[in-house]
A = this chain, B = another copy of it.
Amino acid sequence: MATSSGHTLKAFDDDLDRLRALISEMGGLAEHAIREAMRCLQQRDVEGAAKIVENDAKLDALEVETERRAVQLIALRAPMAGDLRDVVAALKISGVVERIGDYAKNIAKRVPLLETMGNIEPLSLLPEMARIATEMVHDVLTAFVERDADAALRVMERDHAVDDFYDSIFRTLLTHMMEDPQSIGQSAHLLFIAKNIERAGDHATNIAEMVYYAATGQHMTEAQTGKKP
């Protein structure tokens, strides 16, 4: 149990740092998976895509490890207030990062279905959209490691750019489907890919809310989340 002795607190801090390091590692893998999924999509790299699907097991294993350590930390050191918020945030964030990895995997699974597709416009927009989303993921996890509530708020603001990209790609794909009905199947897969990236951006904002709460003990106001009603 945590006491006021410096030694025990240091042990807690070390444990917490290890938790944060695990989450940074997960974040790095998830970002890489999304960027790599975009490369495979653009280059129709079916083998590369299969590797993304395979590598997702690493993220799953790291989530299990994070959960194990977080629960152990709570049970053994009984952290209070801000410390407890940090550990619970770590537990929840690892679950969200794992899901972001799942989106990369879902995108990768569609690459073989798109192998014969021509270079239509959304194919060049998607990686740009994904770039913003992965930057959001990267920056919000840095904000978590640095307990930086302001940085978390700044991440939220960028989700509008991802949403705008999504709306634009959605419309472009529908137009493409109408003009070229033969492409409808492949365009439908691209719709889902765009949706997966949009969801990754949403998850970055979910993490931002968790980071803000962990760092401040306050939930973001509705004005701060900027959520559409």
User: Contact residues of A with B, CB < 8 Å?
Assistant: 67, 71, 74-76, 78-80, 84, 88, 91-92, 95, 170, 173-174, 177-178, 181, 184-185, 188, 191-192, 195
- Chain B minimum-CB-distance residue to A67: B88
Partner of A188, one of B88, B95, B191: B191
- Chain B minimum-CB-distance residue to A171: B185
A76: chain B residues at CB < 8 Å are 78
- Chain B minimum-CB-distance residue to A91: B91
Provide the main secondary structure of the chain A interface.
helix
Partner of A71, one of B74, B174, B188, B195: B74
A185: chain B residues at CB < 8 Å are 174
New A-B contacts (15) at CB < 8 Å, excluding given A71-B74, A170-B188, A191-B191: A71-B88, A74-B74, A75-B75, A75-B79, A76-B78, A91-B91, A95-B95, A173-B188, A174-B185, A177-B177, A177-B188, A178-B184, A184-B184, A188-B188, A195-B195
A91: chain B residues at CB < 8 Å are 91
Shortest distance between the CB of A10 and any CB in chain B (Å):
20
- Chain B minimum-CB-distance residue to A102: B202
A174–B186 Cα distance when bound, in Å, is 10
Partner of A75, one of B78, B92, B177, B191: B78
A184: chain B residues at CB < 8 Å are 174, 177-178, 184
Partner of A181, one of B79, B84, B181, B191: B181
A170: chain B residues at CB < 8 Å are 188
A195–B173 Cα distance when bound, in Å, is 18
Shortest distance between the CB of A207 and any CB in chain B (Å):
13
Partner of A95, one of B71, B75, B92, B173: B92
